[in-house]
Structure formats: C-alpha cells, structure tokens
Chain A
C-alpha cells in the first residue's frame, strides 16, 4: 500500500475557486519511457501512435475538419493526442464545443481558462439559439427532449453552419455494444445519418477519406482505447481534467433516482431546498441536471482509477440520457449523435 500522498497541482483563480487539476506522477516519466524499446512495445504507445496517425490523416485529406470537444476526459485525451500529432505546431483545425448552456460551470471555466487561454487553441462554441429562446430546460422538458434540441439539434446546426467535412469525436468502441461495430472513419449522409448496414470496409490503417459535397465523415481516433486505457494515459501523461471528476463535498439533490449537483440557481427552488452536502464525484460529464453523481472520497487520480476498476457497473449508467431501454445508443447514432 502506497502511503505517500500524490501531489496534485490545483490551478486556482483569484477567488480561490478550483479551475482544473493536473495530476503529477511522483516517478519520472522519462524513466518509464526508457523501458520501451524497439522489441518491447507497450499497448499504450501503440494506441497513441495509431490515434496520431488517424488525426494526421484527417488533417491531410480534408479541407475543413473540426474536433468535437465535449470537455470530458475522452475529449481531453483526444485533444492531447492531436497536440502530439502536430507538435511543435498546433492542431490545424478548430475545436467545437456544442454548448447546451447547462454544462457544469467548471467545464466552462476549464474551456476558457485552460483550452483557450493557456493552450492558445481555437474553440468554436455553438448554442442552439432557437432552443434557448424557447426556454428548453432539462428540468421542465425532460432529458429526451432537451438532448434532442440542445445537443443533437445544436450539433447538426453547427455542422451545417460551418460546413465541416470531417468531425472528430471521442467515442470508444468499448462504451456500448452498438459502438463496437462502428468504423474509425464513419460515413454520414447529407442528413448526418449513420447506416450500420452500409459501412465501408476498413482495412489496415488505410482510411477511405473520399466524400461528396454535403456529406461528411465522423472520425473516432480513440476507438480502440478502453476506459482503463484512458485513465492510465491521463495518469501517465498528466493530462489536466475538469475538477468535478475528483471527489469533493458538494451540494446535491435527489432527482429522478440520481444525485444531481446544484450547480447554479436554475435548479427549481423546491428541489434546491432539499440540497445536502455530500462527498461526490462525476464519472462522466455533461449537463449537470442530467448527470448523476457517484458518492466517493476519491480525491486523487489513482483513487478514481482504483474505484473504477473495482466498480461493478459499466460507465454510462451515470448518464440519464442512456437510461432508455435496449439499443438506445444505436437509435441516437442513426439520428446523428456522435
């Protein structure tokens, strides 16, 4: 048992609020790299190289690519790989944050302070203004309707507006059964739709990048990474994450069978009145009213990984939007969810 506490670097703003966190490995990573030789290749080095290859291929072959950036951990890993792919240059494409306006507050801080300011990357933000005008509210309209308008709807709007011909997504095949069969370069028609029966065969690392006008390709550079690989890589590479991944005492309320964070004053007052402070963290990020918290005291990255490995529930259960029965993800993919 390791009783040495792992130092975590916290970046605080002037008000002393935690902005985002970088885990620092006490052991030098240089030393670890030395164990990799031509004859001995670790799976993470291999996955990293494959992802970099995919990202560069898109940058080379498409006129107007974009990286969908949800601010979650998978997005952060994907972005880290993109930075590696073009180092010392910057990725030659913008990020796109489809903003429902209901994300955790700390996600916005992370985006503006770290991604835009510190890394100096271009991040487009798209909001479904009609939905906003109509007052679409996850508390009032429910997860299905809200996600349809503010997430899927907004994504389709943004892709049409900027006329992107390729969009990177952080989907992984191990997340859900329907994803297991998706290609790395996944063809979408004019209506952003995916046809699981009519996919292009994908061989070796030779990706078919040919599309007609108005059609596009969704590209999943971390398709072959598992949940554990992602965490392990964050740990090894010291990739900063939004702080709600880490456990902390936070005000939460019970809502539709899940613990929901009271993140701002849009929580209905009768619900907010029931708030209690609990030690919680979030396994996935999204809109705070739709993302269930996990009770946890995992304040360090290794604690989180430990909890994850010992967990007996698969990852997406924390997301209210996936609670629809059966092959719901497949339905969403057909509709253009990435």
Chain B
C-alpha cells in the first residue's frame, strides 16, 4: 500500500508509522551552480512534499526568475527571502522539512560561496550527514575541499558525495570513477568515517529518489535510499553520562529537581551521580516527567532529576557518573570558526557559553590559522571573518567539558562579544591539554628540581634569631574579600615594629602589582601567584624576619602548597571568618574593588572558598576590632615563644 492509500484507508496505521519515524538532519553543500537548490527541490517534489498551490507559484516564478527557460525549475521551491530570490542566490541557512514512510528529514540548506564558512558551520553543527555536491563537468574543486574540511571539523560522521549533472557528461562511468578517486585521495587526511558516492542528475531526477536507467553500471542505491537507511542510532554517545543542569525547579518546599537535557549517556534511578565542579555525590531518587517517572533516561531527552539528598547544585553545574568524569579545568585548546567582521583579538575578554555554563574567557593564545582551501596551517596574530584557527582559551571559572570528537554536546561552545552581544565564533574543544604558559612553567620547575642543588648560607638561623630577638615565622591570613585580612596584617606589622620586632607584610593585591604582575586569574595562574608569595615569605623567614601574608587563597590545596614551601614549623594559618554578607558589604565600599569591578569575575573571588579545617587561629572579624584581632595574634606568637 502506498502512503496516499494508507492515509485514506487506515489513518491510525499511518499515524502509528509516522510516530515511529527516526529523525535525520542533513545539510547540502555546494553552490547554486552545482545544482544544490535544484536537488532540494527535487527531493521535496519527488517525495510529494509540495502542495499544488506552491507548485503553481513556482511555475509562475520559473518564467520570471528561473534558469530553465520557463520550464519547471525545482530550485525555486526552496528560495526564501525576496532579495535572494531576485539575485538568484541563497544567502543564509534555511531549514526545510520533509518525510518519507521511513524517516523525517530536516535539511539545513547552506550556501557555497567563498565568504560563507560561517553559515556552513552553523548548518553543520546540528547535522548527522552532509551531502557534498560536485558538478560532474568540473570535478573536485577548491570549494569541495572546503566543504569536506568544515564537515569534518564540525564532527559530521556521514558524507554523501553527490556527483551531479551526470547528464552533461553523458552519464560516463569513467568520469564518475575519476572524480571518486580524486575525492577519495584528498579526503584521506580528514576524519570522515563514512563516505558514499552517487552519480545523479538532480534536474532530471536521476538517482535522486528514483533509480536512473542511464547508469546501469552504478550498483549503489539512490540518494534517497542512503538518506533513509544510513545508520545513525550509534552516532549518539550512550556511554558517558553528562547532564548539564539547565534550571533548578523548586515549585514548593517538597520538591527540588534539576532540569536539563542529557548530552550523552544513560541515567537510572539508584545511580550514584557526582556534581561538577564541586565533586559532591548523591543518588538519583527519581527521574520526573509529566508523563510519569522514568526507569531510565538517555540522550537527548530532557527530564528532571531528583536526588536523594540536598547537595549544592545550580545552573552551569554538570551531573555525571563518578567513575566516568569529563575534564574540569579553567582552560582548554580548541578549533575556532570566526564569524564576525571585527577580527578576533587575543587577550580581549569575551563571553564563552559551553553547555549551560556561561563564563568570561580570554583567547590567550592564537596558535595558528588553517587555510580552509589547502588545510595548511600558518602563524597569524588575528583571525578574520570566516577564518578557522587553533586557540587556547582561559576561563574565569572552572567548567566541565569533553573533547568535541568524543562528545558533540559538551565539547562545543560559542563566543559572544561583550559589547555588541553578537555571536562571534563557534568552537570545538580539542583532546589535549592547553599548552599554556602555566603548564610550561610546571614542566620547567619539575625538571629544575632534579638539576640544581641548594646553596647554603654562612649565617645560621640561631645567629639571626639572637640578633633580631625573634624566631622567623610566616603568618598566613586567609579569608573572603572584606574579611579584613589587609587591615589586620598591616596593624600587626605596626605592632611588631613598635615592639622592636622585624616583620613585613606580603599582601595579595600588592603581589598582583609587582611579583605576579605577569599572571592571569586562571586556576593555574592563581596557584602560581600563591607559590610566589610563599617563596617570598620563605626568603623573609630565611633572613630571620616574620612574614605576614594576606591572601584570599580560597583553595585548601593551594594553602597546603604554601605551607609545604614555607615549612610546617614556621607556617601559622589564621582564618579570618566573617559572614558572607558582612564581607560583601565591606568589599563594596572598598575603593580598589570599586575601580576594578571588571576584575571581579577574574579575581580569586570567583572560586568557591574552602574554609581551613584546622587553622592555628580563627578570628571572627565581625565581632572583633582590628586591635583585638592584632592582640590575639600577638598573644599567639608570644605563646609559641616566637618573640624571644
């Protein structure tokens, strides 16, 4: 029974069939000259997706704008906007819909012109398959290479090379084989795992939907046969569970659920999940939907996950299985397609959106540009519109991601200009650690440790202590911005000086202006800042002085590092504790914070604060005056016999 009969005879049967169809998204790459619009028109027409009134309009238009001399021009079925209809070219991405008895299709119709890399990347980002059109008369062209490269860059798994206009080369098998060989040779360098070739004439309908009688030598299926049968179910990643939290649902006190779209993998009630970047774990209690709770949910469904306990999870966090976690970092390397007239400026702040995370980011390194025509890379200092480059991006806060090659959802991001709000680039994260200044420094320091021996001083610590009447120590003040670190540090320094002792303050802000002026606010650079501060404190201690360090130092790990550098016996950790709102209020009246508002996202404040578990002293600075705090510190130093 054909479709029309089925609709007329058994509408329930038809609906059942339609309901169970799979969705295939594909894009068509080629220029008007390759017959791209004609091909799409032919697919719609031959699969009976064109209504009579549309056809009547096209027949009228064919006389006015057509390129077929007044006869039916299928290309006119797909041209949309007025301007391009008049120019006879497609200038943007357009989406078309049709279905056969097997599948529903969405076509992303993208243009083939030189300057429109951006449109093709846009169309390709959501597609499973690409049809690359080649004019049989001209063979593999520069644009064929470009289209194939972009398809591979955007992670398209299936390619159909449509060798079109075979009617103009007398349906020559030799010509077909020649083009096929050319294409196969060049495409070997690209990551395109599944390639099919079809000889066709879109204008006349050969091998588009119906098998052509002109190509008896061709044993493969028609284009439509490929579209209906290409296996796409296994393209979905059902292994790595990734759930970027999009929205926290809290309709009443009894319900707290995390809404989102599953990027990849499968989740079931009872699964242990970990929230990133906090790494807190919980058990999935329910997977709620309006159609009832689910026994399992998988990509790309969009359920609401309820956990068995209250853990701090908000938009931008990601739920994963604890035994299969993505990378969590503040920097990554990526391929970037630049989509804006204004060129990319390394070092400028942009907004980066990856999954449900929005962060401020800096393109810290432009490694090279790739020529889309030759696929050669070349060193450049900017990226212009429609250019593709490899970059390192540093973010204001950690985010969870995978390599794009492994996960098209968690490995993709867009770049938004902070002033114009335009989407200026699209990026695909690479499967390698960013080769940033930080990692280079790490490598060097690891090597250094094995190369160089320490040179000892000729003055002993005892001699210094006797002369200065004090024992050297490092007092490490940690706490939120506004907790009073600097005020207490400088007051303590004054007090010690007045008592005839020798102390020096190392202050976080001052360090940023001198010692660490070359550092950024990435996770790595913030660690480096603290490493330098600790090494500085150690030098003062070696000279017999008391170092008073005032650093936010939110990470327990970083403070442990500082302690290791200074030495356990000399390191005194002091936690300045004040309620967050008090700190915030104080910070707001702060001149430095006011003039550096832009830096807020980029300071240590952006990271979560981990209070010390076993501080030597806790100062509740919302209750204590600065003088009282200093007195407590002074008492502690005395108790420990450091002021003798």
Partner of A312, one of B51, B96, B355: B51
Is B351 touching A43 in the complex (CB atoms < 8 A)?
A: no
Q: How far is the CA of A198 from the CA of B300 in the complex (A)?
A: 30
B528 within 8 A of A: no
A83-101 interface with B by 8 A CB criterion: 83-90
B454 within 8 A of A: no
Stretch at the interface among A130-138, A143-151, A172-180, A280-288: A172-180
A200 within 8 A of B: yes
A64 within 8 A of B: no
Is A196 touching B81 in the complex (CB atoms < 8 A)?
A: yes
Stretch at the interface among B4-12, B174-182, B322-330, B495-503: B4-12
Is B119 touching A201 in the complex (CB atoms < 8 A)?
A: yes
Which residue in chain A gives the minimum CB-CB distance to B426?
A: A203
- Chain B contacts of A180 at CB under 8 A? 80, 94-96
Partner of B53, one of A236, A309, A317, A326: A317
A159-194 interface with B by 8 A CB criterion: 173-174, 177-178, 180-181
Partner of B246, one of A38, A53, A229: A53
Q: How far is the CA of A212 from the CA of B263 in the complex (A)?
A: 30
B402 within 8 A of A: no
A interface bracket (residues with beta carbon within 8 Å of B): 35 or more
Is A310 touching B12 in the complex (CB atoms < 8 A)?
A: no
Q: How far is the CA of A83 from the CA of B106 in the complex (A)?
A: 26
A299 within 8 A of B: no
Stretch at the interface among B138-146, B415-423, B459-467, B615-623: B415-423
A1-42 interface with B by 8 A CB criterion: 1-2, 29-30, 32-33, 35, 38-42
A205 within 8 A of B: yes
A305 within 8 A of B: yes
B335 within 8 A of A: no
Provide the B234-270 mask, 1 if CB < 8 A to any CB of A, else 0.
1010100000001101110001010111000010000
B59 within 8 A of A: no
A254 within 8 A of B: no
Is A56 touching B302 in the complex (CB atoms < 8 A)?
A: yes
- Chain A contacts of B408 at CB under 8 A? 204
B157 within 8 A of A: no
B97 within 8 A of A: yes
A301-325 interface with B by 8 A CB criterion: 302-303, 305-306, 309-314, 317
B543 within 8 A of A: no
Is B7 touching A313 in the complex (CB atoms < 8 A)?
A: no
Stretch at the interface among B215-223, B284-292, B575-583, B630-638: B284-292
- Chain B contacts of A200 at CB under 8 A? 422-423
Q: How far is the CA of A181 from the CA of B123 in the complex (A)?
A: 11
Which residue in chain A gives the minimum CB-CB distance to B121?
A: A203
- Chain A contacts of B246 at CB under 8 A? 53, 56-57, 60
A76 within 8 A of B: no
Is B8 touching A236 in the complex (CB atoms < 8 A)?
A: no
Provide the A57-95 mask, 1 if CB < 8 A to any CB of B, else 0.
101100000000000000000000001111111100000
Which positions in A face B, CB cutoff 8 Å?
A: 1-2, 29-30, 32-33, 35, 38-50, 52-53, 56-57, 59-60, 83-90, 173-174, 177-178, 180-181, 196-197, 199-206, 208, 210-212, 223-224, 226, 228-229, 232, 235-236, 302-303, 305-306, 309-314, 317, 326-327, 330
Which positions in B face A, CB cutoff 8 Å?
A: 4, 7-12, 14-15, 18-23, 51-54, 79-83, 85, 91-97, 99, 103-104, 106, 118-119, 121-122, 125-126, 233-234, 236, 238, 246-247, 249-251, 255, 257, 259-261, 266, 288-292, 296, 298-302, 304, 315, 339, 351, 353-356, 408-409, 412-414, 416, 421-423, 426
The 9 closest A-B pairs by CB, nearest first: A89-B251, A43-B23, A87-B290, A203-B125, A38-B298, A210-B421, A52-B302, A312-B52, A49-B302
Question: What would 10 more interface pairs be, CB under 8 Å, given A173-B97, A310-B4?
Answer: A39-B238, A56-B247, A88-B249, A178-B81, A197-B83, A203-B126, A204-B126, A305-B15, A312-B51, A317-B53
